[in-house]
Structure 1
Amino acid sequence: MDLRGCWYLLFFASPIALSVQPPDFPETNPTEVNGEQLFEGDILLTEEQRSARVLRQAMAHTVYRWPEGPDGYPLVPYVFKDKAVNQSAVKAGLKHWEAHTCLRFTHTTNTNQPHLRFISGNGCYALLGRSRSNGQDVSIGSRCGILGIVVHEIGHAMGFFHEQSRPDRDSYITINTNNVQPAKIQNFEKGSKSSINNYGVPYDYSSDMHYGPKYLSINGKATIATKDPLAQGLIGQRNGLSHRDKLLANRMYNCIDKWLKKCRLTTDPCRNGGYLGNNCKCVCPPGTSGTSCQRVTGGYYDQLMGTCTEKITKEGTVSSPNYPQKYPSGQPGQCTKWIVAPKGYVPRLTFRAFRLYHRSSHCNAKSCCYFDSLEIRTTNRHTGDVFCGSDITTGRSFTASGREMVLYFHTKTNFYTGWSAKLSFIPATGSKTKVTPPKTTPKPPTRCLFKKYNNVYYWTSPGYGAQDYPNYSRCSFGASSVSRIVTVKLVKFDLQPMVNTKCVDYIKVELPFGRSKTLCGRATEPSRIVFKSPSQISLSFFSDGAISRAGFNVSMQFQHSTCHRTIKTQRVGDTGYLTTPAYGKRHTSDLICLYRIMAPKGRQVKLDFLYSATKATSGCSSDWVLVNGRGEPTFPPATSIITCGNTRLTNIPTSTQGQMYVAYQGTRYWSSGMRLKYTIV
């Protein structure tokens, strides 16, 4: 069966439930439109933009923004230039942009102004940003009616470049120039830091503006490889704007500032990459939850990773999804197997079966594994040899040159059963490490390790750095101090993703007042996940009997505090006032304090009053004052008082154990402190 020229029959009317994904639109796009070469495959540039001086300034230069309409929100007029354009697909794309940003699109009859002209041209392309001329084309050709493609082209018209053009892209991807069609190499150029403004939004593998892994390949191999091998299947999605796409658009067009004003707020309350939305509620990124996105429940990409994508550290059978049944086409069929052998060993893969769709001439008219392919990377993480059809015979083996091997399975059809192979670890050639066969290698320790280095404590999962943590792990540790802030930060974090929205392998973080947070999945930016406590933090690790991953490395240290104080009183009747630093003024940085008031033997501490000036949240979730009169710096909820907002407490129970603990937590820009008076009775 040859797919050339017949996808519409297969895709829309297959009587046997076979399917094939159409070619990536950069492959079918023209190289030029009206004599002008398309930039990066689907972008039209004005003469001014083509000059080297301003070539990559559209995202940074406000002249290319669409201006505000009468209601104060960006307004983009548009028309349908010809009847052949898929109007329902265009309207769905516009509606998608309106649902997630503050941009407004309006059909117009006034063409004597800058506006979008949707046409059914020869391909999918758009002008970059707003043109000062009266009308600019956005082509939604016959193969461009997918929501993500329409959204992509509208993105260019709004001023978006491709994600892989970002100046920081080399920290996240590798461009395999040897695999790129020579005439298309300029499509993979990188912008400079001075010319592209990313508005502080992190790089996003899942961006709707990212090229796919094999775009413009000359040989069927990946033209773009992700630095994180497990993210290889994420790039090139066309399901619509990702969370970070939305965040970028809303920062770029000042939408968040407009919504803050509408909601009568001065600063964005949303954390961990979230942002305030049109409904005055936080729009949280994947892997977070809570009213202010304060709970980290997993990694940003965890929910997007395919179930067959995994890191493998144990011998066994490796196969395509659904094997021995037919593998799925498209995104469900994308798989990455990142194989890591124990120290002193290398992976060897011996195939038992292999059958994919055969080669075709879609790589710049050259024969290649375009539709379905298995790429085997044995010498590095970013490129290897590609196989399809019946290229790999039963019994053929592949051996890595080092401890790692990466398998990238890419599908566009669901015609065949795929592949299966036996994975084994063999001693590395010339290895000076004394090794024993992996099957008899002692099991890793079932306990976590706790070490100190340069005054920082590190807590790691069992076997961390050598192999994946074992199943049924149980371990914990705690840290406490009444004189310093206890700070816990993730260094590395890779646990099994959630199963049916529940964490099965996880770390439970226990904080004062009986509060806790559960962490699972994989953190791509672990250093941003930090927990601080005025007195104590406890962590516990649990794993089930199924999938294991690389594990975790968590740091803990005691940080100096200007407001951790112990007040030792002398006699009955002693009285005093305590205030947090710069009381009455909004904090310029987050503030955590702990006060311990101690009475003489046989006497107690009474709080005459306590003023709180903190951010008011439901359940006092982020800013608060805690009071405990039983000598318990963990502030158990049954014996402690919590308050927040602008409150005045006077009827506070006297201590029963001769001391009173008062803890304070306030976030910058929102809270301005606490003041209290105590008396010894």
Structure 2
Amino acid sequence: MNSSDVKRTMEFVSNVTLLPYYMHSDGMALSYILLYTLVCVMCVWGNMLVCVVILTNKNMCSITNLFILNSPLVTCSWVWSVCQQPYLRLAIQSDDLHSSCTAASPLNLRQNSRRLKVIKMLIMVAALFMVLWLPLWTLMLLTDYQELDGQQIDFLSSFLFLVAHWLAFFNSANNPIVYGFFSENFKRGFQAAVSCRICDLQLLVSHCRRINPRRSKLVFSSIALHMWLKLIMNSQWTFLLLHSCLSLVFGLDLEVKYPPETDAVNYRDPCKAAAFIGDIALDQEDLHLFRQDQAEKDLQHTTENSNTTVNNTVNRNGETDASANRSRQFWNSLKFSRRRRAATAKNQRIWPDGVIPYMISSSFSGSQKAIFKQAMRHWERHVCVSFVERTAEKNYIIFTYRPCGCCSYVGRRGDGPQAISIGKNCDKFGIVVHELGHVIGFWHEHTRPDRDAHVSIIKENIQPGQEYNFLKMGPDEVNSLGETYDFDSIMHYSTNTFSRSVLLETILPRYDVNGIIPLIGQRMRLSEGDITQARKLYKCPKCGESLQESSGNFSSPGFPNGYVAYTQCAWSISVTPGEKIILNFTSMDLYQSHLCSYDYVEVRDGYWRNSPLIGRFCGDRVPDSLVSTNSRMWIEFHSSSNWVGKGFSALYEAMCGEELNTDRGEIASPNYPDDYHPSKVCVWKVTVTEGFQVALSFRTFKLEIHDRCAYDYVEVRDGSSENDPLLGRFCGNQIPQDIKSRSNQLWMKFVSDGSVNKCGFAANFFREVDECARPDKGHCSHMCINTLGSYRCACQPGYRLATDRRSCEAACGGFLTALNGSVFSPGWPHEYPPNKQCVWQLIAPQHYTITLLFHSFDTEGDNVCKYDYVEVRSDSRLHGRFCGATTPEPITSDSNILHVEFKSDSTVSRRGFTATFFSDVDECSRENGGCQHECVNTFGSYSCQCHSGFTLHTNLHDCKEAGCDHVITSLPVSITSSNWPEKYPNKKVCTWVLHTTPGHRIRLVFNEIDMESHLGCSYDYLEVYNGPNDASPNSLVQKHGFEASFTTDCGGALKAEAEPGDLYSHAEFGEKNYSEAEECEWIISAEKGFGVTLVFNIFDLEDEAECTYDYMELFDGPDTIAPHLGRYCGSRPPDDLSSAGDTILIKFHSDHTVSKKGFHIQYTSTKFQDILHTSDSI
């Protein structure tokens, strides 16, 4: 289990929709409470009696009764957690399963009448178990995988779920009743047990061993088998069995939905491994080696025990085969779970030359692919490995989504593609870096042979059956390469991995490092130890590095003072796909030899030493500029002479944009997936084969947001130059729609300004053919619509596609040209038919608008209108998509055409809708309706409105100047100068006073500004203060003025006073949760001689054991170099805190997933004497 398991659980819980259970009357709620209390008492009391009867009666010390004894022990522990049903991942080999079942099978016992009666009793117990639990499992499957409407969900949650839970709960209480019904011994035992004390289970087991030593093995086997069967009955196997039965019998669509695997690749699937150790998949070879190593350890342990054994008979009958039991426990538990750093000791597991080809399944989103590439670049930045997109390589890795979660094989397997599974909630940067560590060849750090000198394993806190995850590995499996133990390794377990509770530790460091207990289990970045050991594993050159910036420089060792003989260095330059690299040597002084055989610098066009050679250089002649053909370049320096030269120095730069003459490729913003650099302009010209079109599909897109895309943007044009028709200009975070050119050329431009930088974009381009341009138009009877890679047929309004998906047939809807009329769903007032699509095109005369009024409305759906709905459009504007039982508001078109579409699916049908429409002349379309400023059309009339700084005249058409003082308390907001966007008036003085949440700043962004120019801004100007201002423009020159928007930014400098000040995590605190990806810093200062005291009133951040996702961090000073006071997360407010100096730094960080309420802090200034006095008194 990774250290992120707790985070996965919290993310899962945060995504659960909590249904209102108590929607019924108080009387019914009370009855449910009484029923649950009754069955709880029956369960605990009845199962305690079963324990008493068996443990106090020697005649009942049999295999069957001890088999039964395990049931109440397990049941009593389950009775408090009926609502939590874990789906356990099991990986059991069939041969081991059969052998276990045979060893403890009751069918192998003598079949007398007494035994048959016991078997009937056990069958009844099993049958009742399935009958009582089946309703709950059925309801869970229905709610999870069957699409139910709101009323059905309300009915299930308010009644059926409570009944089903009670039935499952009652299963815990019915077993004692069954025992008493079938067995006279139990019936008499129950009557006598009330006066008996409860015996100790351990004493009874010892007693049974003394009576029959051979029987003791069968006793433990029966107990183990019964617990195993209980586990199976409550596991994923039961889930899958019910899933299959319900699908076959009831025809329900209960398909378990994973992201589709669209890549037809026959790879080595880690989910089908022979066994697992945590997130590490083991093949048969690994399994054999582990068994062999464990057998040697068991043999050694047995030999040591035999030297100290006095009585062999007692040993056989008492604590026999301890090592064999440990071995069996190890291998049995190994098959039930999945997880192991330290470098592999097998050279065949190392990727040759550090080159790791990869593929990414198309089922992943663009943002997920970006995270994978960031993780690979992180490894490349520090280690001489290269992750390259697979072309024709036999051995490579493929990122895929598998139901077994996060797992991978260790190192290169060598028999074709191997998968690295990034399951649900595993797509986090640190987790992917961890899994790639296994791919590179690392086990888990705590499995090193020398780990006992560095960490302690607290076995009593480990979850039962997970002890094997903490076993040491032998030197033949792990080679630490002489490196010291690394607490900071990203391959290390955290303190509570596989613990019984998040508050319990399973692994702890044995000693302090620099006086501090080291933190373990981080998933943020590679540690220094990770980097050093990986460089040793792949024999990286001692000099050289991986360069990933868009520009940089490097030089030979010792430059310009001379290099050392017999030196070998390598530099790998990697920039964004779609860019080229320009390399310029600024100095060259190497030993001159024939063919540069001794000392030389070699440049290759690619990612490794076998890439195509660009040139080999020596002597003192500086080479010309070198340009790569792709986004990677390899530079290698070699010296083998004793001649002393200065060496060389070079600088490189990524060339942004290029001409791409290929039918398929990738384009990305500079430095993607990291943030692009400011002030970049990149132009790509794409040309595909003649006769085809260029298709462009964006995978990810994150640029600075602006309404008109004036700052950072991507511009796409249909042709080969900037003068060709514009296909779109894009910015913000929304991925643009697929784009297609009309010809075989496409022009694309990326621009960034000098301010906000984001991660940019990644897009694929490929050649595309327009099937609709063919003479037959795709055999479509009405309209042919071309799509990327295909096409589809469509029909005119009033028609629908026939079953052949090409021809059209008459349908409901049609063209309506009357000034008024009505539309209604088919079948009104009865239920509309399924699979119906109706389109009405309402057309009025020019200068008219159309108003649509709904009178009745009842369709399937609630908030998400994806089943049955009514959609209303006006030209390209969507007025709304409506469903449910709420009648929409009146809708008025923007022009003389209104488009109304009704659609129903194949399931639920309702009454539908009725609506009337009216056409009205648009008075504003002629001479602006006589309005001086703005005209707003209304049904049957119109109204005039005025620009900012003006009010409407009493004649309701003209505008006159108004007051110009404003107080604004609600942000964000947009402000403009008077009369914007027209020219502002003369002699105008306006003030705006803006307020925001305490602890936050106000950001001012000028969208447009047009004012009289003057060097000293003496005439017309705009001033921004922390308070009021006084300005007076002159009366000679008039301009358009300005438009600005105000928003809030977290963080800032605050002054602590005697009166408490307030600090909130975000401006909308109390209204909504804090945003994702926040980075805030507050510096709170007091006067000299005073400290800062913090009181945490409200505190609610995402909870995680190591506080690595969302957290608040405190430093006793103005920066992060100051003493660290703590890192906090969760919902428990920290204790009041006082600084040792006059300044304190508060940092707040949130990631891209879960968000919570945030925090509210009050800060005050306190004299140091008061602080000391308070501390002493405490």
TM-score by length of 1: 0.37
Structure of larger gyration radius:
2
TM-score by length of 2: 0.22
User: Which structure has greater strand proportion?
Assistant: 1
User: Which structure has greater helix proportion?
Assistant: 2
